[in-house]
Structure 1
Amino acid sequence: MNAASALDITTMEISRTTPDTMPPDYPLPEILDSLVELTAQRERKTLEISLLTTLRELMPNCTVALYNCRWIDGHPWWRIQLDHPDQEPLPNQPWTLPNRKILRILQQQDERQPVYQTETGLCVPLYQINQVVAVLMVTPNHDTDIDHTLLLALARIHENFLNLLHASDSDTLTGLNNRRKFDSQLYTLVASQHAELPRLPFLALLDIDHFKRVNDNYGHIIGDEVLLMLAQRMQQFFGEEDGLYRYGGEEFAILFRAVSAEKAQAILEGFCERISNQPFPQVGQVTVSIGFTRLDQSFVPSQVIDRADKALYHSKTNGRNQVNQFEALQQQGFVNEVAVASGDIDLF
């Protein structure tokens, strides 16, 4: 979906909440201001906060909560993401199985509806590529009437922009974040480092060993299946807070945290071992080489990438199917730092 089509859809949604259909309690300028704020967001978390804030302002007599959905082996799990607009998304909330009613909604077992009635209020599913990725739960206080038209208009606008963000940030083959998203998040992470954080940030670059042989021997369709399966195994192995990216071709990037460099090494070696021990259909054994480095405020993003890339190169030229850290290789004299000239502000 391009920006023009999203604008058309947004215009259609606004037209459904014209002054003729809108309750007198909702001044049009306030709603337009809320829409401007909602559609100005370019990150999912801020988009969610903006949506919840808007609904709370326009429906002060209702309790509104946002739940995110996660699909594992075809089964939906959910957890509360936001239940108050003034707070950050709730960290490390447990994923739970929804009750039977919500489960039927998420799996679209009943006739699809824009809004569903629950025991406590209303449930509004939000879709991405025809799959429920989030749910708005609206509970009226006492005998408050909920304006379905306004609720659905805001939900659909949020959904449209969520899909735009997904299309802009995701790799079309693997579903992982793409290079554009990687550049943005690496820059943000490097710029916001705090030494007192208990878990240190790391960047790892991962490359599939002898991937050209896969394409040459089995064809590009099988090669694409290997890329897709590797991406799925990355999602299964690494945590939800870890950033997973298709960096380009058969190369992937991981932004993650660990309590120490030794723990980071162990995590990556565990993934390396798991890949080599799980045969890929039609291809058999596939191995990966990994290089990683710690993120540091004293380095610009291009330096961080260069350090991880040098560690990756060492892994690939010294046997493959292994993990190496730049800092450890530097101490051993295997790699050297490349200085960035003064005034060089090109980050990528």
Structure 2
Amino acid sequence: MLMIRPSFDTLYEALLARDAAYDGRMFVCVASTGIFCRLTCPARKPKPENCTFHETVAECIEAGFRPCKRCRPTTPEASADPVVRPLIEALEKRPGYRWGEPDLVRMGFDPSTVRRAFKRHFGMTFLEMARQRRLQEGFSSLSGGGKVIDAQITAGFESPSAFREAFARILGTAPGNFSKNPLLSADWVPTPLGPMIAVTDKTRLHLLEFLDRKALPAEFKKLQGFAKGEIGFGRTEVTDRIQEELDRFFKGESASFQTQLALHGTPFTRDVWRALLDIPAGETRSYSDVARALGRPEAVRAVARANGANQIGLVIPCHRVVGTDGSLTGYGGGLWRKQRLIELEQGYRAKVSEKANQPDP
């Protein structure tokens, strides 16, 4: 990653404090044990003379260290959290259930502990995530041809108005306003970082955004203008293709996306997005780096605006752009997602490094 490297003393203090600001961005290698950890690892802290710090998993592996079995630095942190994992599994088993704090208590969890854990990992509480999950169930019902009343019941909303309002908060329009003969089709696709909305035609992906992105209603309205209001519910072959590619991406199998993209923007904005596509997984660039790559070093602010206007998340990797000092600057999907994505993609970099270091057969 391109960042101003903190001093050893700063990093060691962060290790002692289990500072989450460095999670996924710096790792500690411990000479006395031969393992490497997150700076948030709960294990007993090593002596400073036994510590070295690296920016990537690949560097730790190349230095001959093994990943810690407690903090699991090669996997996203949330998957290792003993509070998060069972609740995510329970949510997937009962996605339409109206979860409440009494349910958490019955399962043996302290609601305040759950609230903090989910906020730390996902930027939202478990109950907020559960409500969002119910909306997904309603969206799926509509996508499958169901009526609005059926979707409301499936989503567990007691009144039609509450369902319409909740739905409109996400996309900026009520479900009854969707077209029966659409030019573009909208459906949700699940990911480990939360559900995303995909809008496609028969050949291209027009939009891919997390459901809780604040700019989603405005982006959806813009697409409605492009399609003259003809956006409906449903999936296309392109939806299935991007779902498969996202699944491979999050499983650590491939960071390559081959789905054709429809780029809705000015010529300069499209040039910025194409430049983002050239950033390899596991690497980052600053806004000024991207501006220089375009031959427009003075256009840093314009690059930042174009980066923020990206409406095809993950595939056009705006999450790979960081501040000049390496800080995780604004990301429409939430900084916690940006951190997780960079952390995940460092695993791809580690795999490439491992292959490069293997002897020829």
Give the TM-score, by structure 2 length.
Answer: 0.23
Find the structure with the greater CA-based Rg: 1
Taking CA–CA contacts closer than 8 Å with sequence separation of 6 or more, which of the two structures ends up with the larger relative contact order?
Answer: 2
In terms of fraction of residues, the more helix-rich structure is 2
Task: Provide the TM-score with structure 1 as the length reference.
Answer: 0.24
Structure with bigger strand share is: 1
